[in-house]
Structure 1
């Protein structure tokens, strides 16, 4: 009897050790990523310290009411992201934990490039909720596609209300050739031995999209959450520009933000750090804003949406990992 008890104790200890090791490894990677972000931020701050110093001086005397409005809009973005993620799957997700995951994902998004951090966190969460990996990835792709389409519609609508702000870029001759090449590759892939598997994957994606849109509540959550998320980020920048008294109409600021953020998404930097800052500052300057004021507006937007929530978001990410929610 004592031998069985000792064997059971050893087995339990072994299982605990084997499950604790991956958790420790993930914690080490999260810590290393956090340190990398802090070091990169310190390097950029040291390199551009005069601009940051003047920007911080302007923000220190800015309108506090507008800055608080921008902070409130930032808080709402995570709820809208959670709403869109729920709309991308047919299964009900735990609401509070879903919002916490979006908050943590926004922090992870500033550690890895091109949205990989946020995508990994969301896929892992959906898998923990019992959704298979393939369908979790599909839900993430549906959410991203809805966000892109909503941004395109908003840019087109705002461009009509603010004529002359944006110019249609010239399509190089290689553009249609590249699209044709992609179409040929897809056609050859579908006719290859991998064709049945690819067609099965496409059929599964279509089935998931139909399943979501067959429920009006899910479709409204997907598209409404995506729309509100994009608009609220524009509202944050509008609030900062109003706080420092930039002479730009809110509709024009929203158009510049949506166009700049869409262009910066093509550059694979963590959370758009560097790419969005440069493109957005250039867009504001091209619209007639002085360079110093444009840098201040971008700095204020980044403080509200990135730097203030970063450490709390990483702490929430670690808490979710410890609670086995990820």
Structure 2
């Protein structure tokens, strides 16, 4: 389903065309990891891609409901609501909120009762989104280790004196600075604002069907970067951005796509060769960031062409 949705979004007529095949070959290790660990990552990707297709066809209620289902499963896709609001997909945003209330509160009440449902929702929030000095979400002992490739894990690992390994192993440090937790969070917020404004600045004011695939791919990458916990299996989400950028490169479009693709592939290769060392310094994070920069540059280039 992810392959079919990706193929449709990048306007390939057949799912076996080169960009799709190459992108799927690259993310095979993440697909295997998802199945091996029993993670619903491919389901989440299918829901997000289905939501994007629904937006393209004007079905905003369905788009919001699909994202809400993804949020109910893993929480972090909630970041998509900012895109809905910016693009004035008001119906999709409202649908997302209503569907999420139904999934998290109304449906469980007959089985769990009101008080237990509230407790479950509180536990869900802590388990998915909680972030503090001692750790992240339901995996505080792993939140700042080399396995977490989100900006939260990487920034704390490199800018604070926290161990790159989880206990009970002896602590190992890779920090290049020794900042306090508050200062690290300022760096994270500044990075979020910078990337957020770069996304907004790259997008044309009016959505165009021929450019929305790049917007959707860039959004997926930003969600990956800013989710509290981003372990390796989650990077199966690179499938769609990779397919899109490979298509751009094969079409020989003038863009940053080939250079950024090579950087991303080098980082992914380094991760395969020396997973612990590479991920200590954010190899998967940097691969996602490299792909995002290529997409943002493409969007910006298109914006200039429209202005002319």
Query: TM-score normalized by structure 2?
Result: 0.29
Give the number of the structure whose residues are more often helix, by fraction: 1
Higher relative contact order (CA 8 A, sep 6+): 1
